[in-house]
A and B are shown apart, each in its own frame.
Chain A
Amino acid sequence: MLERLAVREHTVGELAEPYRMSLASASKHVKTLERAGLIQRTVRGRTHFCRLNPKPLAKADEWLRAYEKLWDVRLARLQALLRHPDND
């Protein structure tokens, strides 16, 4: 569901369709994703529209960037070790 929402906004009905689940079931799934902060829901008229909440994914990305930098630090220390061996 999240992959499809990454492309564009979907109604709950649209989300349900490929799985052939009832609107009620789909609604339950949507509520779970909403509670997890992964999607945002807006109601226009009687239709519920869902879109991806970009913040949690940005957090995952931020975490990965920090982690990558940590590896860069380790590799820089490796470089330093190779240049100045104490006992070679």
Chain B
Amino acid sequence: MPSATDRIETQIVLDAPRTRVWRAITDVREFNEWFGVALTAPFVPGATVSGRITIPEYQHVTMTARVETVEPEHRFAFRWHPNSVEPGVDYSAEPTTLVTFTLDEVEGGTRLTVVESGFDAIPESRRMQAFRGNARGWELQLENVRRHLAAVPR
């Protein structure tokens, strides 16, 4: 039975049709823009895609993901090492987490749910490596984005 520490889940209701949201998460150029990475290959089931993270402070991190599921307009999932930060280190033998995006049509648009699971298998020493910042740091970033969203005219 998965423990409370094995997964995270978050969601957002996006004011956009399902088709538009699907494109935003599975078209790699759009994905790159909001995720903050520079992946160079398309998301195809079974494919492994790689690219540098473009978020400040994490630009030394390369993201490598293996695409697991592409169910059009419903579910998109990939496996990755959420904190592979050291160049030259082979992370291929280490446990991966599974990131799953699910789309549902709701009042107000499309609800996008993100679940990332498999954290219990990641050793504690590895967990802290990628996150020199902490929840407070990300809270501030979130505030910035929200303020930006509120300020720009629709």
Contacts and interface: CB of A to CB of B under 8 A. Distances in A.
A11 to B, nearest CB: 25
Interface residues of A, number: 28
What size tier do the contact residues of chain B reach?
Answer: 35 or more
A64 interface: yes
A56 B134 CA distance: 16
A82 B135 contact: no
Contacts, number: 98
A57 B135 contact: no
Q: Which 9 A-B pairs have the closest CB atoms?
A: A69-B138, A76-B145, A78-B34, A66-B135, A77-B34, A75-B12, A68-B8, A65-B135, A82-B16
Interface of B: 5, 8, 10-12, 14-16, 20-21, 24-25, 30, 33-36, 82, 112, 114, 116, 119, 124, 127-128, 131, 133-135, 137-139, 141-142, 145-146, 148-149, 152, 154
